[in-house]
């Protein structure tokens, strides 16, 4: 493929993620209607381009001048978001075509997924006639933290939006997408782009990951898919993308029984999971078994680490956590690092007699920040160690929050991956959030952290 | 064993969990010291009995009159909490013995777990001499939500305390105990009793589960153990207890490598995991692989359900969640329920055409409370269904929070287990919390819910 056509392909999708002007067709004066929620979220999200609400019966919506049709807008429109009832979709898309709008995002449901195949076929004909590209129908929308673009039709008081980061999420299910964005926003995850692509009638999952593969604001791509539209296309695209950056996938509809629910959900054929599993492996896709795993993995991949080796050193202030970490490391088939004699000697001089210098290094319950930092520095300098797994339980009174600042600082030198584990509620959550937002992955439980390390190592065949 | 000796045994431990008067030996004027934190937490926790701070150099601590020694107290003392340096432990315990105190909780560390075996042996001799019972040394303490007893030496602003409930937690690791209590308190878990038993030198894990097995305020016992003190005693006790109520265990130190860290943590021999696994099974213990699983399971067991059968009906407002739920049900080897013709017909009349009536029942994104409740009522009445797995994603604008109230209400009739799944942050977390606090188990993810259902069914050989 020539360079120019590569760039063309990228440009085709760019307008969905970075439009300068948007028409919201079906914008409503009724605050409970999707058409108003979308407009409101675009405004509240701080979108800096032009917004054109379209509604034949209103003059103003949310203080913005309203148009009867896109044909009444004199300027160009980069993207039309369509939130009218399904039976009106064709007419408004026809108007878009006449206006010369090339990109439409169809939120409206009621097409193939409910058996309305003719309507979806007519929709496709219309797209071809006007050479338009479509995401949808039956989608939640697009979110781009960098362009302040938020077309999601769920209210902000119910769905917290994540801050800027480098994870992008391509999700066939709007429900999974919205629930996860909401939850992860609170856990300190940073997102770049999110897209729910529903029935994937025109722009499909392969187009989207190809775009994100070239997107500099995306360091890791997460996917939830039930089925793919074009197997060969997905295989080729995923393989190429996975060479550029980590691509992590959860596949829904893995059993014969559940395949049936996929059909009525997004109208896809779920296909045999065994077949998918094999294809994923050949493509270099990282496979996650659950939604939790998907984002546990994303957290570590987002940081862009490629470790020098597999040897893990555990540091903890809680003995039981040390035990559970080493259990998990051994069970995952990973090696526990062996401290060099030099490090042992050095730590013996510096740490109190109550500590245990081995693997785990147990700094015990009265550990403070200096005790942690001496140990971390020694382990970063020890050639016998590739990865540091640091448990910090902040419930103990002597461990101050400056440990977090010190770890963030040393982590900036990018000597070795430092993966943290911390469990707790309010006080602890604030510290975990700070770590996450500052490039240090922090997990709630030992098994989550070790599984993520394992996924990272496997990705690099280590 | 005779009834009276059964009662005697219970009474022996009762004083640790329900003392009327407590001496805090090592109470300190320094707010950073364990001896003050314990006293402060007892006061702030609302303990209603007598508190006697013991410190030879202070007249008052936290406005309470201070004693130079327990021997200066004229009233009886039910429990002594000991938080002095290890070298002073024997002397203060000797004083307790002379005073006639029969129960001591030794927070102090620095005994067998750091190789100080002689000191621990001397401690045991002293206990025998005065016929005293001890929890410890090297423990975090005891928490009893019903008696407002909180001896944990971690500050309340760092470790949130859980509300009253029916889960009790026996934990060999203080760090795991404290981190989990803190985290679970925020997730709406209710606890009855918590005890960290450290080196289990006198009162051991078997004594504790025997006590909790007879405790009416405990409906499910959770354990984290690294090793047991007396294998035969544990086997007999666990078997008897597991017949009375669910006993769920996470075993730390499952691999050869990690067994070493157990030795330096609580001085226990970890033993072969295979041996433990076999013993656990014979005892009727529910085995959990991780801390998350331990409490995922506890949540469902706490509600006391014994289902009539295994057939699970999924109800959802998010198609993708329906797919993931049915994936998990099928993968766990559980049967998806088949709606009766009557229910199908009834639902077809009552639900909009966009919904899918099958398994899952997909109520789609615009589902509101009445749509959910019609469906739940129909499924509760359908003899083809044993368990309801209800996903409610509250990000959608039309689903009001009264769904939670309605489900809590219908759940009180105890017709069939209703297990919920909901994912999200602030808005959603409040609703999940409300469900949890009102007897409806609610999980964040499909796999967590289905694994818990599986554990419940297995416990009853279903």
pLDDT tens track for B45-79: 999 999 999 999 999 999 999 999 999 999 999 99
pLDDT of residue B136: 93
Sequence-separated (6 or more) residues with CB below 8 Å from residue A121: none
Q: Which of residues 360-379 of A touch B (CB under 8 A)?
A: 360, 362, 364-365
Dist CA A328 CA B258 (whole Å)? 9
Token pair 């059964």 in the structure block, residue? B6
Dist CA B215 CA B234 (whole Å)? 18
pLDDT of residue B325: 97
Whether residue A23 has pLDDT greater than 50: yes
| pLDDT tens by residue, A28-65 | 999 888 999 999 999 999 999 999 999 999 999 999 99
| pLDDT tens by residue, B11-36 | 789 999 999 999 999 999 998 889 99
DSSP H helices, A131-203, are: 174-186
Banded model confidence at residue B2, pLDDT cuts 50, 70, 90: very low
Which of the residues B258, B293, B325 would you substitute to probe the A interface, choosing the one with the greatest number of A C-beta atoms within 10 Å? B258
pLDDT of residue B274: 77
Q: What is the mean pLDDT of chain A?
A: 93
Nearest CA in chain A to B181: A424
pLDDT of residue B276: 84
pLDDT of residue B120: 95
Percent of chain B at pLDDT > 90 equals 84
Q: What are phi and psi of A77, to 5 degrees?
A: -125, 120
Sequence-separated (6 or more) residues with CB below 8 Å from residue B216: none
Q: Extract long-range pairs of B113-117: CB within 8 Å, 24+ residues apart.
A: B113/B138, B113/B198, B113/B199, B113/B264, B113/B265, B113/B266, B113/B267, B114/A353, B114/A354, B116/B86
The minimal CB distance from A322 to the residues B37, B180, B265 is found for B265
Pairing of strands A190-196, A220-225: unpaired
Beta carbons of B446 and B324 less than 8 angstroms apart: yes
Give all strands (DSSP E) within A131-189, no chain letters: 133-135, 141-144, 149-150, 163-171
pLDDT of residue B134: 97
pLDDT of residue A272: 73
Provide the 10 A C-beta neighbour count for residue B341.
9
Banded model confidence at residue A2, pLDDT cuts 50, 70, 90: very low
**Cβ contact A182–B423 (<8 Å):** yes
Pairing of strands A190-196, A141-144: antiparallel
Cα distances (Å, whole numbers) of residue A2 to A6, A7, A8, A208, B153:
6, 9, 10, 19, 68
| pLDDT tens by residue, A319-362 | 999 999 999 999 999 999 999 999 999 999 999 988 999 999 99
**Nearest by Cα to A298 from A307, A288, A308:** A288
Whether residue B1 has pLDDT greater than 50: no
**Cβ contact A176–B320 (<8 Å):** yes
Chain A interface includes B451 (CB < 8 A):
no
Banded model confidence at residue B238, pLDDT cuts 50, 70, 90: very high
Dist CA A110 CA A94 (whole Å)? 18
**Nearest by Cα to A288 from A339, A241, A248:** A248
Q: Report the gap between the CA of B447 and the closest CA in chain A (Å).
A: 7
| pLDDT tens by residue, A171-212 | 999 999 999 999 999 999 999 999 999 888 999 999 999 999
Mean pLDDT of B388-411: 95
CA neighbours within 13 Å on the CB side: how many for A380? 18
Mean pLDDT of B245-270: 70
Ranges A256-270, B132-146, B350-364: which has the least confidence? A256-270
Whether residue B264 has pLDDT greater than 60: no
Q: What is the mean pLDDT of chain B?
A: 93
Whether residue B270 has pLDDT greater than 60: no
**Chain A residues closer than 8 Å to B109 by CB:** 354, 364-365
Sequence-separated (6 or more) residues with CB below 8 Å from residue A205: A170, A172, A197, A223, A225, A228, A229, A234
Mean pLDDT of A242-271: 73
**Chain A residues closer than 8 Å to B294 by CB:** none
pLDDT of residue A257: 54
| pLDDT tens by residue, A64-91 | 999 999 999 999 999 999 999 999 999 9
pTM, full prediction: 0.93
Which of the residues A31, A112, A173, A179 would you substitute to probe the B interface, choosing the one with the greatest number of B C-beta atoms within 10 Å? A179
Chain A interface includes B122 (CB < 8 A):
no
**Chain A residues closer than 8 Å to B185 by CB:** 425
Compare B281 and B32 and report the one with higher pLDDT.
B281
| pLDDT tens by residue, B290-313 | 999 999 999 999 999 999 999 999
Beta carbons of A375 and A351 less than 8 angstroms apart: yes
| Relative orientation angle of helices A205-213 and A231-244, to the nearest 10 degrees | 20
**Chain B residues closer than 8 Å to A37 by CB:** 397
Whether residue A268 has pLDDT greater than 60: no
Token pair 């993708």 in the structure block, residue? B320
**Cβ contact A322–B292 (<8 Å):** no
Containing B14, the helix (H) or strand (E) segment is helix B3-17
Q: Which of residues 41-80 of B touch A (CB under 8 A)?
A: none
**Chain A residues closer than 8 Å to B321 by CB:** 173, 175-176, 179
pLDDT of residue A3: 45
Whether residue B88 has pLDDT greater than 90: yes
Provide the 10 A C-beta neighbour count for residue A6.
12
**Chain B residues closer than 8 Å to A392 by CB:** none
Q: Which of residues 17-36 of B touch A (CB under 8 A)?
A: 32
| Relative orientation angle of helices B291-302 and B446-459, to the nearest 10 degrees | 60
The minimal CB distance from B426 to the residues A160, A331, A353 is found for A160
Containing B237, the helix (H) or strand (E) segment is helix B231-244
Banded model confidence at residue A1, pLDDT cuts 50, 70, 90: very low
pLDDT of residue B3: 45
Containing B239, the helix (H) or strand (E) segment is helix B231-244
**Cβ contact B320–A186 (<8 Å):** no
Dist CA A127 CA A120 (whole Å)? 11
| DSSP output for B122-171 | HHHHHHHHTT-EEE-SS--EEEETTTTEE---S-TTTSPPPEEEEEEEEE
Mean pLDDT of A112-132: 93
pLDDT of residue B114: 82
* Residues composing chain B: 462
**Cβ contact B158–A395 (<8 Å):** yes
């Amino acid at each position: 493929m020539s360079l120019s056509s590569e760039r063309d392909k990228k440009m085709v999708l760019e307008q969905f993620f970075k439009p300068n002007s948007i028409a919201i067709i079906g914008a409503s004066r009724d605050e409970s209607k999707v058409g108003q929620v979308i407009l409101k979220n675009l405004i509240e999200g701080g979108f800096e381009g032009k917004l054109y609400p379209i509604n034949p019966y209103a003059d103003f919506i949310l203080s913005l001048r309203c148009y009867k049709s896109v044909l009444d807008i004199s300027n160009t429109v980069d993207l039309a978001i369509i939130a009218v009832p399904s039976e009106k979709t064709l007419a408004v898309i026809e108007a878009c075509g006449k206006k010369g709008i090339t990109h439409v995002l169809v939120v409206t449901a009621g097409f193939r997924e409910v058996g309305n195949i003719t309507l979806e076929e007519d929709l496709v004909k219309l797209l071809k006639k006007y050479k338009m590209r479509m995401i949808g129908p039956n989608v939640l929308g697009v979110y781009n933290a960098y362009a302040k673009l938020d077309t999601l039709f769920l209210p902000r008081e119910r769905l917290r939006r994540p801050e800027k980061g480098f994870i992008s999420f391509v999700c066939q299910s709007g429900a999974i997408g919205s629930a996860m964005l909401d939850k992860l926003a609170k856990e300190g995850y940073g997102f770049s782009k999110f897209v729910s692509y529903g029935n994937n009638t025109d722009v499909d999952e392969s187009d989207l990951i190809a775009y994100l593969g070239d997107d500099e604001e995306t360091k890791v791509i997460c996917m939830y898919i039930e089925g793919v539209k074009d197997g060969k296309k997905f295989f080729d695209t995923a393989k190429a993308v996975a060479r550029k950056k980590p691509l992590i996938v959860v596949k829904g509809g893995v059993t014969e029984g559940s395949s049936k629910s996929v059909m009525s959900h997004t109208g896809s054929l779920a296909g045999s999971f065994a077949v998918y599993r094999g294809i994923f492996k050949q493509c270099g896709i990282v496979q996650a078994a659950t939604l939790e795993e998907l984002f546990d993995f994303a957290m570590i991949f987002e940081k862009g680490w490629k470790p020098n080796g597999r040897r893990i050193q555990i540091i903890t202030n809680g003995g039981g956590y040390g035990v559970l970490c080493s259990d998990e490391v051994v069970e995952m088939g990973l090696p526990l690092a062996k401290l060099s004699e030099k490090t042992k000697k050095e730590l013996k001089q510096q740490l109190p007699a109550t500590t245990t210098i081995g693997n785990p290094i147990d700094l015990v319950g009265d550990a403070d920040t200096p005790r942690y930092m001496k140990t971390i520095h020694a382990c970063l300098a020890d050639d016998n160690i590739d990865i540091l797994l640091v448990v910090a339980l902040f419930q103990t009174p002597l461990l101050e929050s400056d440990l977090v600042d010190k770890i963030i600082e040393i982590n900036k030198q990018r000597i070795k991956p430092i993966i943290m584990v911390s469990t707790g509620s309010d006080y602890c959550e604030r510290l975990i959030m700070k770590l996450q937002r500052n490039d240090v992955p922090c997990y709630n439980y030992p098994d989550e952290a070790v599984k993520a390390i394992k996924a990272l190592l496997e990705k690099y065949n280590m």
